[in-house]
Amino acid sequence: SQQGEEDPQALSIQEGENATMNCSYKTSINNLQWYRQNSGRGLVHLILIRSNEREKHSGRLRVTLDTSKKSSSLLITASRAADTASYFCATGLGDMRFGAGTRLTVKP
């Protein structure tokens, strides 16, 4: 079964704008991960945030985690057309459970 929901399901922005995606989960976690998937391709690991962390940065990516609200957000700054993909959050290190995903389209 899926762990939670991503919000929004789809997002369309212009190049250079920031994109924010949210993820909610249902159970207690030790960590949460964000992945990117280009259409018809495998998953690319973006970032892992542990349950005792509130914010983490990696390049143009910023992830926040609010364990009290069971939610996380992924911010992509200064978006590029190449960022067009689906983005998923996932919980668990073992049998990983994925959210529904956000389809991001960045228009050049």
Output the smallest distance, CB 108 to another protein, in A: 22
Output the smallest distance, CB 40 to another protein, in A: 7
Q: Tokens representing 87?
A: 């983005």
Nearer to another protein, 68 or 94 (CB): 94
Q: For residues 24 and 71, is the Cβ–Cβ distance under 8 A?
A: yes
Q: What length is written for the chain? A: 108
Output the smallest distance, CB 7 to another protein, in A: 13
> 106: burial class by Cβ within 10 Å (0-12, 13-18, 19+)?
buried
Q: Name the residues that contact another protein, by CB under 8 A.
A: 1-2, 35, 40-43, 45, 48, 88, 93-101, 103
